[in-house]
Structure formats: C-alpha cells, structure tokens
Amino acid sequence: MKVWNLLIVGAGPAGLNAAIAAAGEGLKVKIIDEFNRIGGRLLGQLHQEPNGEWWNGIDVANRLHEKAITLGVKIESGVSVYDLEQSEFGWKVYTSEGMEKTEKLLLATGATEVPTPIPGWTIPGVMSIGAAQVMGNVHRVKPGNTCVIIGANVLSIAIANELRLCGVEVKEIVISQPNSSLTHSGTPEKVMESLLQLTHLAPSVLLRQAGRVAKYIHPSLAVKFYPKNGMNILDIPIKIKTAATEIIGDKKVKGVKTVNIRSNGEIIPNTERITEADFVCIAGGLAPLPELAALTSCEFKFVHELGGHIPLHSERMETNEPNLFVAGNITGVESAKVAMAQGTVAGLTIASEIKGNKKHSDSAIEEALLTVRKEREEALIQFQPNIARARELIYQQFELDWKAESPKRSIS
C-alpha cells in the first residue's frame, strides 16, 4: 500500500494551497474532503472588494483545484475521516473509504458555525446562515422566497446580501435574545460595539460610511439613537433593538416571534410581534473545527480572538505532535486569503522537513510568512479585533512549551 508524503484533510483554501506548495517541491500529496465538491468554504463566498471587483469563491476554488491537479495532487471528495493513529512511518488515517498511510498529516478542516439555540430552532426551514449561503450560491437553490436572519454580525450582513442576489427577500436581521444563558450574543450595545469595530473593514460602501461616523460616536450613544425599526443596509433592515424570542411552525417554519428591547437588553413590554418567513437563518458566528487534532496528544489553547479552541502551533504551522500540521481556520477564524497564505507556509514547511533542503526552503518559508502577515493586515473582514496580537502570543507559547529548554509556563 502506498505511503503518501503528505495527506491533507480539507480541500478548502488552506488545504489546496498547501498541496500546491508541497507538490511544487516534489512531494506526493493527497487531499480528502467530505463535501461533494472541492473548495470548502470558498465555494459559498461572493462579495465585492473595495476596488469594486467581485470575490467569486467558486472561481478561486476552481483555479486552485486545477493547479493542484496539474501538479499531480490526488484529490478525493465525499470521503470522511474518522480516526488517526501514529505509526512507524507517520500516520494511519481511517476514512469512510478505507485506511490511508502518510508520512506527514495536515489538518485543514476549517471552521464550523456556532449555533444559537432558541425555542423552535429545530423546525425544518430553520438553518445556519452558512447553510443558506451554500444552498444559494453553490447548489443554486433558494431555501425560500422570504427569510428572517437571527444574529447581526459581519458574516450575516454579507450573506444577507448574497441571498438578496439569489432573489430572496430578507425581511429583517434581528438579534438573538440578550442575557440568555444559551446564546453568546450580547445586548444591543454590545452588538453595536462589535459591528462598529468591523465596519471600517466591511465589504460594502455603506458599512464603511457607518464606520467613519462611528469613529466620532461612542457605541452607547450610537445605539441610543439607533432607530427602533432598524437601519437599512442594501435594502435590508438591520434591527439591533429587536430580539427573537421564538421560532414558530410545526412541520415547516412559519416565522419568528420578536420583542423590542432597550440598549441594555431589557424587554419592552407589549411589543411582541410575528414576522412571517419561508425560512429562518441563525447566525452565531464561526469557531475553529479541531476535532481531528483532539484525537491526538496535540496541545490545545482557548483563544477568544481566534474563535475558540485551537491546536497550539508554531508560525510555520507545526504542532507539538510529530508529523502533524495545521493550517487555515482550524488555527483561528480569518479570511480565505489568510487561510491560503497559511496553506503555502504549511506546504513549504512540510516539504522542507521531508526534503531536508533547509537553506533553499527557509527563504521560501520566510517569504510565505510575510504574505500571511500582509493578508492579515489587509483583510477586508476581520472576525475579531486583535487577531495579529493573539497569533503572536500563540507562536510564543509554542516556542516556550516545545522549543525552549526551560520548563513549561503560561504567558497568557
């Protein structure tokens, strides 16, 4: 049975670029992904860059896919990974299509959506915002003609616009009920604060305008004067002073029950109403998807700025587990461009370990690291503030724990 130099789990922006970099250095590479198409989260993405050009994730995915194929990378879709095991040659990877052997293993499994459970959220027709994005942009199926989105964040506003392009009427974006033990979202003031932090980087001109104004206004004041009926962005009413209390329907969703709330999250009595919709989206944000790394003795760290629990790793994408590497959103939620750049770093690092051509590879890796930093700085959508700082701390922690002679200690 063949032993691959490198097996990659996840055919998204990080996995594909890692394969391209590694195969470019002569490695025998295979990628597996459980979705039935290649491209991962790239496939759903569709937004306008500041220069007016469209970022069409499907086109980007197709380009990377073709390039990888040209370099001899073997790619399989519709295959799931169930278990990992260290072995004398590297790793045994157990999949739905049998066992694979590889020297090096790269986990590029991306991110998952954080659910916001509210009463009625399991009714058919209620789905995560990413589910609707994939339905519309990838499968070219509208989940319905009208929708309500629960959760006001940069991702939900961007996808609301994508649904609009698919011909869906987004009736309103409301927030999930504040102060609920089940949800992470805060009061209108907190929601405003996070939206304002993001607006100067947001994709639409309108959001950027809002950001400019916001520089001179404190969030608490902005939310005080925020209109009760919401503000329209691209014709979509964003109501941060309206909270969803329940989703109604039986075999199929009928609509969302909402109440008006004050800036501090207090419910205003007698304001309950129902907005009817064909489907309802829940937008709770993204978190890294590190399950497979958790099957190993890889060290984990919780980093709020990076979206949750991540495998501790170096800037060169190594983990403390021998022959195990990570790249992309499994290391923290960021844009596809950052994930692509990280993929290149991982691919080159792995090639360098296998080929042992340190001098040649070190300069290439340094250059790839510069691209990661540049993409991070220029990122259009920053999911959390202070990502760069949080990243630095992780790299320092890795050096302290696994490279230095001194005993382990925590720096954050």
Partner 1 sequence: MRMRVDHHPVLGKQTDRKQVTIFFNGKPYDAYEGDTIASAMMAQGVYALRQHEVSGNARGVYCNIGHCYECRVKVEDRKVVRACLTTVYHGMEIDSLSGFSEGNE
Q: With binding defined as CB under 8 A, does residue 251 bind partner 1?
A: yes
User: Are 6 and 27 in contact, with CB atoms under 8 Å apart?
Assistant: yes
Site string for partner 1, 111-150 (x = CB under 8 A): -xx-x------xxxxxxx-xxx-xxxx-xxxxxxx-----
- Which of the stretches 13-21, 31-39, 203-211, 397-405 binds partner 1 when contact is defined by CB under 8 A? 31-39
Q: With binding defined as CB under 8 A, does residue 166 bind partner 1?
A: yes
Site string for partner 1, 329-368 (x = CB under 8 A): ----------------------------------------
Start-to-end Cα distance in the chain: 45
- Determine which residue in the list 49, 50, 54, 85 makes contact with partner 1, applying CB under 8 A: 54
Site string for partner 1, 377-406 (x = CB under 8 A): ------------------------------
- Which of the stretches 50-58, 261-269, 320-328, 344-352 binds partner 1 when contact is defined by CB under 8 A? 50-58
Nearer to partner 1, 68 or 127 (CB): 127
Q: Report CA-CA distances (Å) from 243 to 89, 127, 135, 261.
A: 55, 18, 26, 7
# binding residues, partner 1 (CB under 8 A): 42
Q: Treating both helix axes as pointing N-terminal to C-terminal, what angle do 13-24 and 336-355 enclose, rounded to 10 degrees?
A: 30
- Determine which residue in the list 26, 78, 322, 385 makes contact with partner 1, applying CB under 8 A: 78
- Which of the stretches 51-59, 187-195, 196-204, 404-412 binds partner 1 when contact is defined by CB under 8 A? 51-59
Nearer to partner 1, 24 or 290 (CB): 290
Q: With binding defined as CB under 8 A, does residue 98 bind partner 1?
A: no
DSSP-assigned states of every residue in 3-51? EEEEEEE--SHHHHHHHHHHHHTT--EEEEESSSSSSGGGGG-EEE-TT
CB of 99 to partner 1, least distance (A): 20
CB of 191 to partner 1, least distance (A): 23
What per-residue string of b and e applies to 341-380 under the rule 16 or more CB within 10 Å gives b? Answer: bbbbbbbbbbbbbbeeeeeebeebbeebbebbeebbeebb
Q: List CB contacts of 203: < 8 A, sequence separation 6 or more.
A: 47, 48, 49, 158, 380, 381
CB of 40 to partner 1, least distance (A): 9
The DSSP call for residue 150 is E
Which residues face 259 on adjacent strands? 243
For residue 104, give the amino acid letter: K
Q: With binding defined as CB under 8 A, does residue 58 bind partner 1?
A: yes
Residue listed under structure tokens 């990992």: 84
- Which of the stretches 108-116, 255-263, 349-357, 377-385 binds partner 1 when contact is defined by CB under 8 A? 108-116
Of residues 179, 155, 149, the one with CA closest to residue 262: 179
CB of 46 to partner 1, least distance (A): 6
Going by their DSSP bridges, the two strands 253-260 and 273-276 should be labelled as: antiparallel
CB of 364 to partner 1, least distance (A): 33
Looking at beta carbons, which pairs linking 181-185 to residues 24 or more positions away fall under 8 Å?
182/116, 182/117, 182/118, 183/116, 183/117, 183/118, 183/284, 184/114, 184/116, 184/284, 184/285, 185/116, 185/151, 185/284
CB of 43 to partner 1, least distance (A): 10
Q: With binding defined as CB under 8 A, does residue 53 bind partner 1?
A: no
Cα–Cα distance for residue pair 307/330, rounded to 1 Å: 10
CB of 53 to partner 1, least distance (A): 11
The count of C-alpha atoms lying within 13 angstroms of the C-alpha of 327, restricted to the half-sphere facing its C-beta, is 37
Nearer to partner 1, 161 or 258 (CB): 161
Q: With binding defined as CB under 8 A, does residue 250 bind partner 1?
A: yes
- Which of the stretches 148-156, 160-168, 223-231, 328-336 binds partner 1 when contact is defined by CB under 8 A? 160-168
Q: With binding defined as CB under 8 A, does residue 80 bind partner 1?
A: yes
**Centroid of chain to Cα 231:** 26
Q: Which residues form the interface with partner 1 (CB under 8 A)?
A: 34-36, 46, 54, 56, 58, 78, 80, 112-113, 115, 122-128, 130-132, 134-137, 139-145, 165-167, 250-253, 279, 289
